[in-house]
Amino acid sequence: MFEKEVGSLNFLEARRELEFLEKELKKHDELYYNKNMPEISDVEYDKLRLRFNKLEQSFPDLKKSESASVRIGFSPSSQFSKITHQNPMLSLDNAFSLDDIDNFIGKIERFLNISKGNIEFCAEQKIDGLSASIVFVNGKIECASTRGDGYTGENITENIKYANDIPKTIPIDGKIEIRGEVYMPIKAFEELNRTREINEELQFANPRNAAAGSLRQLDPNVTKSRNLRFFAYYIDSFGSDLKIKTQIEALEYLKQVKFNVTEYMLCQNIDDIIYYYNYIHEIRSSLDYDIDGTVLKVNSLDLQKRLGFVGRNPRHSIAYKFPAEEAKTKIKNILISVGRSGKITPIAVLEPVELSGAIISRATLHNFEEIKRKDIRIGDKVTILRSGDVIPKITSVDKKSRVDDSNKFSEPEFCPSCGAKLTRHQDLIDLYCQNRYSCPAQAVRYISYFASKGCFDIVGLGEKQIRELYSEGRIKTAADIFTLEETDSKWGVPLSKKPSWGDISAKKLFDNIKSKRNIDFSKFITSLGIPGVGETVAQLLADNFENVENLFNLSKDNLIEIDGLGNIMANEIFEFFQNKININFVNELLRHIKVNPEIRHKNLNKSDIFFGKMIAFTGKLSRFSRTEAKQIIIARGGIISSAISSKTDFVIAGENAGSKLRKAQDLGIKIITENEITRNDDR
């Protein structure tokens, strides 16, 4: 599917791949976290994310902010009440080779300014289960939750009590949080599937999905019957006097209070890491639970705290995954998908094939050049590789088994949704439908995005309802959402009288729409669907432009000056606000809503000297790496700028500062040292 190495791609090729991978990751996150029905294996998903991360690292101008590199898990199901985690439940980055491990350790050493070979690690088994958090207060379980989106999880307090290996009480006063993996033993999984087969019920794909489906039951009695188990791996004492200083000590304490932990090992060098990895891989088949690798963690908890996290991943830990497999299957059909941006993507429909318990039934072919180059046809037998640059990847076609009357697949000339003639952007391979607001497929997907949680968050208006309203003509653009109630009677049958709605549902929808007529500036920007602009980039734009009128009048120079925006993303934003059709849509939307500026970092100390200030760096820092220093500034509410201008409030100068320092002095900007950025830090 992706034949080129990341390093040999140009910007346009990388952009196409990132768009594809973004869509795939979002789909598979929902299938995995919310529906417990994965279409691809964990290893395939890991490779998909690995390709995405490599692309972002190699092409920072293309980096998206709301997707694979920062998204954790998926939004909690609406069937459960929600619990907000006191500290985010992050997702581990992956390593697939010793080179990856060397790179991981090297980054830590550079970040901390620690010489090579002076960091200890704790190695543990990586359980293929469902992450859960359990909070104890004065020794008793107060609440429990799933990881959810990393910040808010589903309330599973009653259900977690029926998982084995979790003590009902622990001997400690105060508040303490235990995190770990809920899993189903392989024997219990096999027995459950045998029972479901007898009862003609849908069988679970693998033990992880059986565990997730069993724990996330509305009836705790179902959970009770499923023989779930729990491995603990994390403890947060919330400032109590436990005096735990290392991950090894944390695991020892967890064993003392009767939690189960996996077999672990202190690793003082790369040879220890290799030994543990090979040992666990060797005994893997003898275990009664699924593991898909090992986990490597910086042993010192103080260093873990300093390292923090980047995007969705902690810097201090990584999953060292086991190698993968391949399988053969058959292409039953090739479908054409129209994305929210108008991109046309061919999709291979496969005869379902199982790889380590996960069922794969589709593979995205990326573009029509891919089909042409590999001569992929309907009816072909193909090989799918789990360990590759992308997931799932069709690596080869068995042309010897091809029937004589098979036909080459022809790329379409017209959009399958609206019939508009398809075009290619200059120097791009992908086909696009340019009919953004009138193409039904694009319109429905964009309106669904507009109404989703990260944008206007209109409860009761999901894709199913939007498709119905769109097909009836009640809404044609996202702005029409706000006229639904006033035009309800003109359609003959009001929503309240339709079988799929009813009085209560219709009233709730109209009330929800009314409540969303005021929106924060950053969420408004997110909702416009500008390519590459998610919540983080939208916040950057909201921080730098005070109102919608300023967005209409922005220039490329304005955008490029913003730290975090590359040339390509800046160009996308600029072109969006130069398009008259987009401007007309935004103006129509503004007739129905009010956009409110939002206060950045609401929970931070507004009296902090860096709060809301523009800060630039110059010269070499000695105490911190540049990355860690920026992280501290952002945590205190500061805004990082890569350029120095009259808007810059502070310049942090290190050794050998050059022209930036002179420019700051000429402009009268206050110059400070790196020691001043942690004046409240006792390190």
Q: Where are the alpha helices (DSSP H) in 206-256?
A: 207-215, 220-224, 247-256
For residue 352, say if its preceding peptide bond is cis, omega within 30 degrees of 0.
Answer: no
User: For the domain 82-321, what is the CATH superfamily, name and number?
Assistant: DNA ligase/mRNA capping enzyme (3.30.470.30)
pLDDT at 641: 73
Q: Which CATH architecture has domain 440-516?
A: Orthogonal Bundle (1.10)
**Is position 606 annotated as part of the catalytic site?**
no
Domains 6-71+324-401 and 440-516 share a fold: no
**Please, which pLDDT band fits residue 388 given cuts at 50, 70 and 90?**
very low
Is residue 478 within 8 A of residue 528, CB to CB? The reply is no
Task: Specify the range with the lowest mean pLDDT, choosing from 372-386, 434-448, 544-558.
Answer: 544-558
| Adjacent-strand bridge partners of 358 | 355
> Which of 169-178, 593-602, 658-667 has the largest mean confidence?
169-178
Q: Is 283's pLDDT higher than 60?
A: yes
pLDDT at 74: 47
Q: Is CATH 3.40.50.620 the classification given to domain 614-678?
A: no
Q: Is 681's pLDDT higher than 50?
A: no
**Please, which pLDDT band fits residue 432 given cuts at 50, 70 and 90?**
confident
Task: Specify the range with the lowest mean pLDDT, choosing from 275-284, 427-436, 648-657.
Answer: 427-436
DSSP 8-state class, residue 327: E
Q: Where are the domains of the chain?
A: 6-71+324-401, 82-321, 440-516, 520-596, 614-678
Q: Where are the alpha helices (DSSP H) in 257-354?
A: 270-283, 301-307
Helix (H, G, I), strand (E, B) or coil at 422: coil
Task: Specify the range with the lowest mean pLDDT, choosing from 62-76, 276-290, 375-389.
Answer: 62-76
Residues above pLDDT 90, as percent of the chain: 32
Is residue 344 within 8 A of residue 376, CB to CB? The reply is no
Mean pLDDT confidence for 5-27: 81
pLDDT at 601: 46
Contacts of 267 (CB under 8 A, 6+ apart): 120, 121, 122, 123, 273, 276, 296
- Say what the pTM is: 0.51
23, 126, 393, 660: which is the annotated catalytic residue? 126
Mean pLDDT confidence for 596-616: 69
For the stretch 468-506, pLDDT in tens is 999 999 999 999 999 998 888 888 788 888 888 888 889
CA distance 174 to 451: 42
Q: Which of 230, 276, 266, 231 is nearest to 246 (CA)?
A: 266
Stronger pLDDT, 364 or 418, i.e. the higher one:
418
Contacts of 399 (CB under 8 A, 6+ apart): 375, 380
Instruction: Determine phi and psi for 144, rounding to 5 degrees.
Output: -145, 150
Mean pLDDT confidence for 181-210: 79
Mean pLDDT confidence for 323-341: 85
pLDDT at 274: 95
Stronger pLDDT, 531 or 329, i.e. the higher one:
329
Q: Is 41's pLDDT higher than 70?
A: no
Instruction: Determine phi and psi for 124, rounding to 5 degrees.
Output: -135, 165
Q: What is the chain's mean pLDDT, rounded?
A: 83
Task: Specify the range with the lowest mean pLDDT, choosing from 100-114, 242-256, 339-353, 626-640.
Answer: 626-640
User: For the domain 6-71+324-401, what is the CATH superfamily, name and number?
Assistant: Nucleic acid-binding proteins (2.40.50.140)
Mean pLDDT confidence for 644-650: 83
Task: Specify the range with the lowest mean pLDDT, choosing from 68-82, 170-184, 516-530, 614-628.
Answer: 68-82
CA distance 297 to 322: 17
What is 520-596's CATH number? 1.10.150.20
DSSP 8-state class, residue 30: I
Q: Is 600's pLDDT higher than 60?
A: no
For the stretch 83-103, pLDDT in tens is 888 888 888 888 988 999 999
